[in-house]
A and B are shown apart, each in its own frame.
Chain A
């Protein structure tokens, strides 16, 4: 039998492990400077409890423990932190600024054969809403990505507010609405167009949905969006998004921010802004996040919240794509000496100076 690891899991050897650690530390330093405090949540959760917060789909590991409880290896950290805040921080007044760096375990059909365990470093900002809170989350994402050494990245933002408003005005048919959301979730703009000309929907709203999916760009995208949705009374969340955009572009020092309404995807718990970060030549998103104002309520505590998660594996791919090599990790010096006591003493002296020293000698 080959002593291998399970499919989608791998060992990380020293060079890469040290690199990962330094990236996590650089990110965590930014989290700390913004006043975010670290938390840890269990690797496993009770499936029923986690599902109170949202539908779980990409969870490859579900099992019964010896208590006969149905457990799930956490597929994300947002729901566990929301659960924790509702349960454990009861009696404490918010806002809460929390950060983490934890493994998550996901897989769906489209990622079959890929990693099933990835490291996410992220934040959750709980208890505040509005453009300033949203801009805080985004500015911190920009700083954290910059701190990793990625030189060129783009964060695409949109809001589910406008889409929700248009969909509910367009039709009373829940099946049609579900199909529109599904088309957005799978980034199928052709299906969005087809649904827009469906007779179950009022054409004026439905056409706006199809145009919305293609609005993309800088400041000017807001004007485009306004002229589309204001006459229909569907500008929900747009003022906040524009204010957020202005705050972030004025304060972020690197990276690009763009408006992109086709970004609305993947998680059903977002209620306001949604965003994903991309780098050239990295095929998957570096980070994703958004506002989820109803999730804590479902765990029994009504608080607004927003956050993001950066995927360390994708950050490393972006660094490799721009030609960054892993930092050297070997010891700086080896001490050998016939007198073992002296060897230990000399090594201790060098370590006081901050040198990485290994002891020589020994036998095998």
Chain B
């Protein structure tokens, strides 16, 4: 019986180029993956690359759409699905921060003193909730899908929890970082059944671990 292709979830977006390069270095045939055009799946001998939205990589891996995959730690925390997080690939560094408008310094504290609860706008409700729970602070979360910085500007929220690589966007929007929530890098993840039934997953994990062991954390 010929073995079916190994299915790997590859994230689109900022992690894509580093991911393709690393998979190639690990010895996989990445022909056609650099420029997939409109293709959703690139099939090469022995491997199927499934090109997914970064937030969907854990979903594909949990439900068997892929045997393994690559995605940011932030997506893993936000998805909270049953996957094995096997290797820190060190690229794609970004951090989650709490920020507030520079002009509104002190306003958030006053609002908290009055309400006893922080009003926070974010695209990442789970990360936000677990951060504030860890600090023992009550929080009202306003889930948004983009332009989070508008939340405090129009007064819906006092602060935001958002992702930033260099801080440029925050500065451009006159937001100042109040505290750090979480640092995130790309991770190699695997389905729990695939790890135990398909030796190719472990082999790939060890190759990726060797390739990235001595790397420093970098931004994409």
Query: Residues of A at under 8 Å CB distance from B?
Result: 109-110, 152, 154, 156, 186-191, 193, 216, 258, 260, 262, 276, 278-285
Contact = CB atoms under 8 A, between A and B. Distances in A.
A119 B152 CA distance: 49
B88 A283 contact: no
Contact of A187 (B79, B82, B88, B197): B82
B88 to A, nearest CB: 5
3 cross-chain pairs, A with B, having the tightest CB-CB distances, nearest first: A283-B64, A278-B193, A187-B84
Nearest to B58: A110
Interface string B68-89: 0000010000011111111110
B193 A285 contact: yes
Given A282-B193, A284-B82, 17 more contacts: A109-B126, A110-B79, A154-B197, A187-B192, A189-B85, A189-B87, A190-B73, A260-B196, A262-B84, A278-B193, A278-B197, A279-B193, A279-B197, A280-B193, A283-B192, A283-B193, A284-B192
Contacts of A156: 196
B181 interface: no
B132 interface: no
A279 B194 CA distance: 8
Nearest to A314: B193
A276 B197 CA distance: 12
Contacts of B64: 281-283
A190 B87 contact: yes
Interface of B: 62-64, 73, 79-88, 126, 187, 191-198, 202
Contacts of B73: 190
Given A258-B196, A260-B196, A109 B84 contact: no
A187 B193 contact: no
A189 B202 contact: no
Contact of A188 (B62, B85, B191): B85
Contacts of A191: 85
Contacts of A187: 82-85, 192
A281 B198 CA distance: 10
Contacts of B87: 189-190
6 contacts: A110-B80, A187-B83, A278-B196, A279-B197, A283-B63, A283-B192
Nearest to A262: B84
A110 B194 CA distance: 18
A343 to B, nearest CB: 51
B85 A280 contact: no
Contact of A109 (B80, B194, B196): B80
Nearest to B198: A280
A260 B194 CA distance: 13
Contacts of A190: 73, 85-88, 187
A276 B87 CA distance: 22
B197 A280 contact: yes
Nearest to B88: A190
Contacts of A193: 88
Nearest to B84: A187
Contacts of A282: 64, 193
